[in-house]
Amino acid sequence: MSEVRLKKGESVEKALRRLKKKLDREGTLREARQRKNHEKPSEKKRRKLKTPRINYWGNFSL
């Protein structure tokens, strides 16, 4: 569970923005959206194939 504490004198909007960035980095919202809707196995396979991977020499490939 992600948590963001308000700093002294910080506005709620700024803390909310920090929370959203933190959730985006962790991938929490993305995962929740994927679990919310059923995904067909073929769509899941296609999505996994589209994610970039790092090969043995450290180069990215799609």
Digit-coded pLDDT (tens) for 11-44: 999 999 999 999 888 888 888 887 888 888 898 8
Instruction: Between 12 and 54, name the one with better pLDDT.
Output: 12
pLDDT band of 60, cuts 50, 70, 90: low
HEC per residue, 3-40: CCCCCCCCCHHHHHHHHHHHHHHHCHHHHHHHHHCCCC
Does 62 have pLDDT greater than 70?
A: no
Looking at mean pLDDT, say which of 23-27, 47-51, 58-62 comes out highest: 23-27
